[in-house]
Amino acid sequence: MIDFLWNLGSFVIALGILIAAHEYGHFWVARRCGVKVERFSIGFGKAIWRRVGKDGTEYVLAIIPLGGYVKMLDERVDEVPEELKDQAFNRKTVWQRIAIVAAGPMANFMFAIVALYFMYLIGVPALKPVIDATRIDSPAAQIQIHEPMLITSVEGKRVRNWEEVTYALVSEIGEPHIDITLTPLEYSADGTLGTKYRLNTESWKFDPDKESPIASLGLDFYRPEITPVLGLVSPDGAAAAAGLEVGDTLIAVNGTPYGGWDDFVSKIKASANQTLFITVKRAGEQFKLKVIPSERKGPQGQIEGVIGVAPTQADWPENMKLQLEYGFIDSFGVAADKTWQLISVSFKMIGKLITGDLSVKNLSGPISIAQGAGSSASYGLVYFLGFLALISVNLGIINLLPLPVLDGGHLLYYFIEVITGRPVPEKVQEIGFRFGAAMLLMLMSVALFNDFSRL
């Protein structure tokens, strides 16, 4: 329940900030173009707060925080007094209307730059993309790893951390091959001493519900040694009920000596609702505890056991850590470049959804966004800022889609007006709005279905 409330609160805050940025873009440009703004609303439905400003605009916070709007004076919607007609949206030139409509998505992109600017100014701890093995029967099987290797570039683009590797790989989904450059960890990270490998990805299948794009290619990223000491015991799990505690050292399971964390997890998963005797060492003494793993559904729908524990691991080597931190001026350039990368990747993903290279199962809805908001907020401000930037970019791009109910649909009509010299007939616009609403509803339904299937 606490996790749900935390996720919900983080989601509402994140969405409120991003909607405010988007609608303020429309509002600011509309005012500069001489359009009278009657209402600026964050949320829909009944108002929980309202105030009329000196500019005559009514500012509203509404009860349903799933959107917002800027209501402008418009003769197509309401009757407008003669003395105010020059302030009506529909009386403005087509280029002014284009600027007003495009300002919302542009504000989202600008907000992403601002969020990333502060993120990089504060500094983001990250890990270098180091791999220590490859899997057989995978696109990366040709690479022989004898020592930890640093991924320095993907398709010629320099990468510094795992996030950048992930974005670079995802943008290449559907391509017949991917070039990656590996460099021994102790060498320079500029890639000049690296070895380029061309991975055959014609049969590459990536399912984000099962594993990361890195793992699906067969690249095993380096992890510090996992110790047999328990670092977490969930208070409502089977382990806690049996008496296991943080700091216990695993010794044996059913009399068989502890053979590593992966082996331990395999035994737990195979023993749902079955009795296990786990021997641990605590304060110099050994205890044999009776544990009955609870059951849960695995990624393939199979029943597997779980007891609610996690191990400790050795510290990350200093040469694998990275602090993405820049100065007052440099942070802006890095933030702008990162925003452009996010925009490029997002547009590529839309193209891959259309071509079928990416499944609609990868679409996420409000539940996944809420979980992401709560998770990033729990890690700290810099991670929440990065999350806001990512969602802001996606919100801007979604609004640019040429669906008549979105900003992109309005822009499509206005550009047709630029070309033909006359507005699109209202009857055609109405048909388009109905089609756009149906398409948007269908996409939202698929995203929600995906969200529920991941729960």
Answer for the pair 304, 269: CB distance below 8 angstroms, yes or no: yes
| Residues near 446 by beta carbon (within 8 Å), at least 6 away in sequence | 360, 363
Residue 453 to residues 10, 300, 362, 363: CA-CA distances in angstroms?
22, 12, 11, 12
Burial class (CB in 10 A: 0-12, 13-18, 19+), 294: middle
Exposure pattern of 91-103 as b/e (b: 16+ CB <10 Å)? bbeeebbbbbbbb
Q: Tell me how far apart the alpha carbons of residues 216 and 27 are, in angstroms, rounded to a whole number.
A: 45
Place of tokens 């007094």: 81
Map residue 57 onto helix, strand or coil: coil
Residues labelled catalytic: 23
| Residues near 62 by beta carbon (within 8 Å), at least 6 away in sequence | 41, 42, 43, 44, 45, 46, 47, 48
> Residue 178 is inside which H or E element, if any?
strand 177-184
Q: Which residues pair with 68 in a beta bridge?
A: 42
